């Protein structure tokens, strides 16, 4: 399975490179178009409903503020950015970087920084006084030896359990499950109705589920220690957590292509639960053509994933300044929009995230987003694995491969050994 997964990624990257070379979009630094505007290539993985609408909103602000520049959307589809990052690695190694690219704040950026592929953007923090409006723990995650390497545009929550209230009522689930044991009991009740207890997507969504189960089973302190030197991946607490993961995964339906079709199963009453980040809110809530147009608390509802109440498992999308960017000035202009109150307030309500800035217009963040704003300021924090906070890319890939094998063989002993080996080789 591991070889098939790598082969699939290689084919995907080859196909993406072919499409990119035919698109004429490489080239923020190529000759200006007939309009006289210079292109700014913005590389991301925001192509789905909600996220694409948020990006479009920021694009409008960018082009309004910079009439001499043209936004070029170089987004690559594929959940969690795995396909985009694979293509990005190829572009960076070939010396053809985009003008700016999306990256998760945290350990994910370390590889680019160590390879000398990013310019510090500390000068923007000084010019725009960003340290005054961004949380210190977030700035620390994107800093290395006193230099800052990206501009965060949002905060997402990874540990959210989305569910269909009507389906739970039909199954006789009278209380929203708060613990893993309660969750398993609820999954069993749904199973008896003939509906799908738990909707999942492609391989990365299973890693997303794993990080939630680890947090819920181990607790916040033990979870956070996993990503530090001398962490214990081989002990009995980890064995129990992985057995919890196995049990929960046994209630999952057939994997959908990605997180959106899995979430749609919940919204349509075909599945009871899905564990997914809060970008799912934009997809559930936004009107048709930008989402499913569903009604919160009726068609869908939410709670912290089982066992994680009081902890906010976070991640942050940010944008970088690659060394050798063809249109460096254009990239800086984009980073200023991404950092701005106007840009973040235009983007985040559509994306289903809350702003990285502390001075946002809170009236724009209602319903689920109001809950997220409150919890971000009061909850304990834990970093996401799949979404780049706690682990570098090689470590994340090793975890993905181990979970991919586990999805086929369901061997907890082998999974625990693979995860322990990945931690040992991580360089932590």
* pLDDT tens string 220-253: 999 999 999 889 999 999 999 999 999 999 999 9
Q: Rounded to an integer, what distance in angstroms lies between the CA atom of residue 328 and that of residue 316?
A: 23
What is the DSSP secondary structure assignment for residue 71, as one 8-state letter? E
pTM for the predicted model, two decimal places = 0.89
Residues of the chain with pLDDT under 50: 1-34
Write down the pLDDT at residue 403: 97
Strand partners, 315: 156
Write down the pLDDT at residue 35: 59
Write down the pLDDT at residue 251: 98
Sheet holding 154-157, edge to edge: 354-355, 154-157, 311-315, 380-383
Q: Rounded to an integer, what distance in angstroms lies between the CA atom of residue 346 and that of residue 117?
A: 29
Strand partners, 143: 148
Q: Contact 187/177 with Cβ under 8 angstroms?
A: no
Write down the pLDDT at residue 3: 40
Sheet holding 100-104, edge to edge: 69-73, 38-43, 100-104, 317-319, 151-152
Write down the pLDDT at residue 83: 87
Going by C-beta distance under 8 Å and a sequence separation of 6 or more, which residues neighbour residue 182? Answer: 175, 306
Q: Which of 361, 422, 317 is nearest to 43 (CA)?
A: 317
Distance of CA 187 to the CA centre of its chain: 25
Sorted by where each starts, the structural domains of the chain and their CATH numbers stand as 21-156+315-379 (3.40.190.10), 160-313+388-424 (3.40.190.10)
DSSP 314-359: EE-EEE--BTT-TTHHHHHHHHHHHHSHHHHHHHHHHHT-EESSTT
Q: Contact 292/284 with Cβ under 8 angstroms?
A: yes
Q: Which of 411, 384, 329, 339 is nearest to 61 (CA)?
A: 339
Q: Rounded to an integer, what distance in angstroms lies between the CA atom of residue 2 and that of residue 284?
A: 33
Strands 196-198 and 154-157: unpaired
Coil vs helix vs strand at 370 = helix
Write down the pLDDT at residue 36: 78
Strands 354-355 and 154-157: antiparallel
Write down the pLDDT at residue 428: 59
Q: Which of 275, 87, 120 is nearest to 198 (CA)?
A: 275
Going by C-beta distance under 8 Å and a sequence separation of 6 or more, which residues neighbour residue 21? Answer: none
Cα-based distances in Å from 82 to 118, 208, 258, 320: 19, 13, 12, 17
Q: Which of 388, 413, 400, 408 is nearest to 238 (CA)?
A: 413
Q: Contact 361/174 with Cβ under 8 angstroms?
A: no
Q: Rounded to an integer, what distance in angstroms lies between the CA atom of residue 365 and that of residue 293?
A: 17
Q: Rounded to an integer, what distance in angstroms lies between the CA atom of residue 221 and that of residue 231?
A: 12
């Amino acid at each position: 399975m591991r070889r098939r997964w790598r082969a699939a990624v290689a084919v995907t990257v080859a196909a993406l490179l072919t499409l990119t070379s035919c698109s004429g979009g490489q080239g923020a630094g190529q000759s200006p178009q007939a309009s006289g505007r210079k292109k700014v290539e913005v590389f991301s993985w925001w192509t789905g409903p909600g996220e694409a609408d948020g990006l479009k909103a920021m694009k409008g602000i960018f082009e309004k503020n910079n009439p001499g520049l043209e936004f070029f959307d170089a987004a690559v589809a594929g959940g969690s950015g795995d396909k985009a990052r694979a293509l990005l690695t190829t572009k960076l190694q070939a010396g053809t970087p985009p003008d700016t690219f999306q990256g998760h704040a945290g350990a994910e950026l370390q590889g680019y920084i160590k390879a000398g592929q990013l310019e510090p953007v500390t000068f923007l923090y000084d010019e725009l006084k960003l340290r005054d409006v961004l949380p210190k723990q977030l700035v620390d995650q994107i800093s290395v030896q006193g230099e800052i390497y990206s501009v965060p545009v949002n905060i997402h929550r990874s540990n959210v359990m989305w569910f269909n209230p009507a389906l739970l009522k039909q199954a006789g689930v009278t209380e929203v499950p708060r613990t893993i044991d309660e969750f398993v009991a609820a999954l069993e009740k749904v199973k008896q109705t003939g509906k799908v207890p738990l909707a999942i997507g492609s391989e990365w969504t299973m890693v997303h589920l794993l990080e939630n189960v680890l947090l819920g089973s181990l607790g916040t302190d033990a979870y956070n220690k996993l990503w530090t030197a001398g962490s214990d991946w081989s002990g009995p607490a980890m064995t129990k957590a992985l057995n919890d993961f196995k049990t929960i995964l046994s209630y999952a339906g057939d994997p959908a292509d990605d997180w959106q079709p899995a979430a749609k199963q919940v919204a349509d009453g075909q599945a009871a639960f899905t564990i997914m980040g809060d970008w799912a809110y934009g997809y559930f809530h936004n009107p048709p053509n930008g989402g499913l147009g569903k009604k919160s608390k009726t068609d869908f509802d939410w709670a912290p994933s089982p066992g994680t109440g009081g902890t906010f498992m976070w991640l942050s999308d940010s944008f970088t300044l690659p060394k050798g960017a063809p249109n460096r000035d254009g990239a800086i202009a984009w980073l200023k929009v991404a950092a701005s109150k106007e840009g973040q307030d235009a983007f985040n309500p559509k994306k289903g995230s809350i702003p990285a800035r502390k001075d946002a217009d809170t009236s724009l963040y209602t319903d689920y987003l109001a809950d997220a704003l409150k919890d971000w300021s009061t909850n304990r924090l834990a970093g996401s694995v799949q979404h780049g906070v706690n682990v570098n890319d090689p470590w994340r890939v090793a975890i993905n491969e181990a979970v991919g094998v586990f999805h086929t063989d369901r061997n907890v002993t082998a999974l625990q050994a693979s995860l322990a080996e990945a931690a040992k080789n991580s360089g932590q």
